[in-house]
A and B are shown apart, each in its own frame.
Chain A
């Protein structure tokens, strides 16, 4: 698939954010994935052209970072954190269950293109272990059963809400968000959830606070 002229316009908008053009490369690669579902040869060529780099220079960057896919990701790219903080608390069991149910392994996609799976490293949500992600939205405090439930809903086109974020949209849609284009979803989901508020709640129960804070 070739990239549209509007993609090129968006790429130039990204470039305009930076004092030096090359800084735009990472968000531009997110933009390419928003169009193509992966970092395609056309996408690499577009980045190279717009930034006056060689395609080899762009590919060298694209292959360094794990979020850039070298073949199309699933419509829903599902991650299971297997770093020990999550893995021991249940992430490993969730991975086994999901992987065997879907019949795919790490970095593989279901034949219908709906789901791809990734064994992810720490998602900075250890207080919510075991943690999963769908197109990088948080799915916190998971169990093997809730993991299967979420994935089955995604496959059948039912709405799934992130536990700390909006309804799960497609991989391509979220990549456009990460390229820096507003999606209007900032107000979806809670401002903070149970684990984020655990200390504040406890402090209020005990009547504790930070003394002397000026308003």
Chain B
């Protein structure tokens, strides 16, 4: 048996933020054998990305990092190594598959050239493209990054990383930007590569379900310390540490709590009749004759892969985009919307309170109503004076909900509002959403690519594929008894999350 691919011993990292030292990692111990897949699970802020950077000797110099302990990758000590050694390490020994595949590629350079720069001759490049599931090598090599799909880009990056035959592959949330089906393919590919090439994989994720479906072992990082390491099966079946138990409870919560049915009135909140839309003349239409009915107080979850047209349905429902043909009927002139990335959904130079209050015009009780809306979403009314940049992700999404309901709409539109969040936060936001929905009697159209989330929030689930609704049914019926092959495939592709009960 050769040496361990990675061994971390008592690693501690202190970074400086605004001059003050912050202990980011403490007493981290971890070992990976060649060919092993270890998932490092933690919430945002737990230090998992810092650990990934420390393994490559890439801690940001402006944070004046202080490192203690030892990190050995493929027999080479990283802590205290000189820059040329670190460059060699990053070229040959440790390779990374980044979270955002577009950021990992040079947008102005053809894929073929980027692969060649990463080392490797023509035949080996083609070989690796084939092994990562990209079979029309000619087209891929001559393409620019934007001409490929997200899944294809991620495969290219995996091929690029594997060209160097590294001993350790760090995958930093490589599938968060991908839809469920593509995610399942990429995970299977990584699994296969670890077995065939004896490459150890450190898989960084916030998603316990993804970790469980991929890894041999799971290490849970919390507050800069590894609180629990165990085989994936053992950890999911019998978590020892209280934090792991909390993560698992949140996961189960999403799976087993179906939405309490809202008070459905007789009226219609939104009706789309034979709506079509194509963005450019002569192009394949984005929506082909979509019919959708949402009654007052009802929540419909719209699921589908990326590119299915989910966002277009939402924008047509909001009135931001006009359909080419078909009718849109809304109960209320002003539906409100909650966006995927709450940080970019607030105008950066205006205070939170101003942006919420502008919805009310010049009403006299404006200040009080803004405070009340903030209280509804569990924020301190004093938060009204904050700028959007000062809020955390969760606070920001709560503020976005407050803005949406300060003048309660009959219809609330949600565009993947929790897809960027880790599980406990996502559950908290979804609970808040359903509480607001019942309190204010709103109908909700909730777009998501995540079936488990759809089941949690939706009374009904509608499945969209290539611009057509292929199936719509009550949430539990649809997941337990899918009628179309496409829905069955979606359910099968979802990570363990849906099946964990």
Q: Are A and B co-members of a single complex?
A: no
Interface residues of B (CB under 8 A from A): none
